[in-house]
């Protein structure tokens, strides 16, 4: 797809001229008119209506709450419905459609709103589309080579000098959170940490080769009772190329890592290794774990991308001995694993113990 190829060259340009040509070509591509259509949490819906007034509305053509649920929610809030509670065949949907998304956000509690499961249509501004979204790069980096996975060593990266880091100012943190939420929403995703991100605790790490890792923490009142939650976003030459999350418990950290499809032929393995370096640097992490979902349990995208082998070739191993034996048998076969086999491999968590 030409669009994705141009985005890739903006993130991984081989020369200044190639970068200029790719950006010029992208500017000629019309940003899609179709709005994003998904169920957002109350917190994300509130962010949309406050940050982008007039761009979001409720999609009543998608599956909608039944009349009993609408009656329970709307009757206490609309005086006319309180009068009609004794009537038969009250058109609750008509009353529901008469209210704006802003009305639902301002009048419903987060729990009640989320239980309704409202589908939201969001026409994102052009600058928040995957085509146009950019962050000012720490540096512009040009190279004709891509570091392949076989040349990546997590052990070597963990032993490398510390990454330069900077805590963002409050307004910078807020702008970075806007970008992270927008990058996810335009790809039909929402994550806990960015949704409840703390703009006063955002860190930017210069990972070299044009890669910036922006790491978000969670608002104090939304922090988990045991684990500390974080979310990294990756920008290569200012282009958002991926995201993840992490949950820290002592020296153990559960990680997820996702590179957007347009950039998976880039330096994904090296980016991941630099991310683990950042975690070791900030949290002292020595044991890295990956949840089965990340490698394909109930996740077709991870099956299609062969996520299990991505992590295994970087040193991760299944925690279940039976799955480890299956993986070794697959390695001896020296051919691409079937989707059925990948689903079996995805039933175990994976772990990399890097304790000294």
Each residue's pLDDT tens digit in the chain (356 positions)? 789 999 999 999 999 999 999 999 999 988 877 899 999 999 999 999 999 999 999 999 978 888 889 999 999 999 888 888 777 888 999 999 999 999 999 999 999 999 999 999 999 999 999 999 999 999 999 999 999 999 999 999 999 999 999 999 999 999 999 999 999 999 999 999 999 999 999 999 999 999 999 999 999 999 999 999 999 999 999 999 999 999 999 999 999 999 999 999 999 999 999 999 999 999 999 999 999 999 999 999 999 999 999 999 999 999 999 999 999 999 998 788 999 999 999 999 999 999 87
Given a contact cutoff of 8 angstroms between Cβ atoms, the answer to whether 11 and 237 are in contact is yes
Tokens 């051919």 -> residue: 335
**What is the strand order of the sheet 228-236 is part of?**
165-167, 203-208, 211-216, 228-236, 239-249, 252-259, 287-290, 350-353, 317-318
Q: Which two tokens stand for residue 293?
A: 């979902």
Cα distance between residue 157 and residue 352, in whole Å: 14
Q: How far is CA 124 from CA 98, 262, 324, in A?
A: 23, 20, 45
3-class secondary structure, 290: strand
Bridge partner list, 235: 212, 240
Q: How far is CA 152 from CA 156, 158, 188, 282, 310, in A?
A: 8, 11, 31, 21, 11
Rg (CA), the chain: 23
The pTM for the full model equals 0.94
Q: What is the structure's pLDDT at 292?
A: 97
Cα distance between residue 284 and residue 354, in whole Å: 11
């Amino acid at each position: 797809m030409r669009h994705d190829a141009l985005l890739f060259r903006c993130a991984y340009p081989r020369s200044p001229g190639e970068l200029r040509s790719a950006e010029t070509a992208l500017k000629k591509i019309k940003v899609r008119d179709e709005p994003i259509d998904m169920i957002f949490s109350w917190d994300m819906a509130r962010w949309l209506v406050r940050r982008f007034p007039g761009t979001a509305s409720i999609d009543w053509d998608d599956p909608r709450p039944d009349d009993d649920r609408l009656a329970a929610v709307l009757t206490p809030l609309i005086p006319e419905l309180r009068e009609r509670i004794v009537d038969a065949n009250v058109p609750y949907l008509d009353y529901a459609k008469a209210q704006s998304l802003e009305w639902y956000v301002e009048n419903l509690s987060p729990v009640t709103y989320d239980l309704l499961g409202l589908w939201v249509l969001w026409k994102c501004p052009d600058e928040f589309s995957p085509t146009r979204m950019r962050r000012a790069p720490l540096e512009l980096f040009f190279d004709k080579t891509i570091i392949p996975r076989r040349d990546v060593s997590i052990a070597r990266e963990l032993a490398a000098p510390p990454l330069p880091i900077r805590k963002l100012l409050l307004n910078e943190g807020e702008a970075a959170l806007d970008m992270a939420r927008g990058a996810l929403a335009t790809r039909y995703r929402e994550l806990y940490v960015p949704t409840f991100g703390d703009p006063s605790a955002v860190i930017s790490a210069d990972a070299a080769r044009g890669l910036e890792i922006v790491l978000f923490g969670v608002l104090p009142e939304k922090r988990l009772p045991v684990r500390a939650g974080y979310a990294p976003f990756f920008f290569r030459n200012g282009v958002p190329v991926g995201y993840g999350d992490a949950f820290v418990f002592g020296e153990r950290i559960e990680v997820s890592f996702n590179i957007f499809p347009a950039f998976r032929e880039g330096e994904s393995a090296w980016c991941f290794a630099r991310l683990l370096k950042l975690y070791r640097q900030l949290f002292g992490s020595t044991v890295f774990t990956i949840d089965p979902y990340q490698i394909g349990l109930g996740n077709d995208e991870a099956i299609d991308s062969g996520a299990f082998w991505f992590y295994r070739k970087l040193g991760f191993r299944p925690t279940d001995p039976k799955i480890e034996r299956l993986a070794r048998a697959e390695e001896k076969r020296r051919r691409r694993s079937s989707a059925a086999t990948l689903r079996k491999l995805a039933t175990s968590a994976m772990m990399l113990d890097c304790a000294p």
